[in-house]
Amino acid sequence: MAIANLATALHAQGETAKAHSLLYDALTASQRAYGKKNTVTSQLAWELVSLYDAPHEMNRKRSIVIENLSWLSKEPLNRLSGEQKSIRERIKRFLFGGTKPANRRPSKRKR
């Protein structure tokens, strides 16, 4: 994930185009080498999404999520890594709003 760290540093220095290009190239290479459902590929896709922080870039963020990460919502939890589960929750908050993880029903067990 050194590439993601480098891209974040470039973004912080104002080199947004270079940061986006670097992460996009890394994401493409990861998809070819490991496949779309690999943890590394998911992390790179989420890093790319998180670099787009301006309000006018919201459509680009959504398209990256839909193209690269939408499969997470349909995948059984037992097939996801811990990082992919975390990304899945962040995608839900990003797409559907809210600051808390998904609401869960309280337990019916007596305390």
Whether 111 maps to a domain, the answer reads no
What is the structure's pLDDT at 23?
93
Identity of the residue numbered 22: L
What is the structure's pLDDT at 45?
95
Residue 6's domain comprises: 2-96
Whether 41 maps to a domain, the answer reads yes
Domain tally, the chain: 1
pTM: 0.80
pLDDT (tens, 9 = 90+) of the chain, 111 residues, equals 788 888 889 989 999 999 999 999 999 999 999 999 999 999 999 999 999 888 899 999 999 999 999 999 999 999 999 999 999 999 999 888 765 555 566 667 765
**What phi, psi does 7 have (nearest 5°)?**
-65, -40
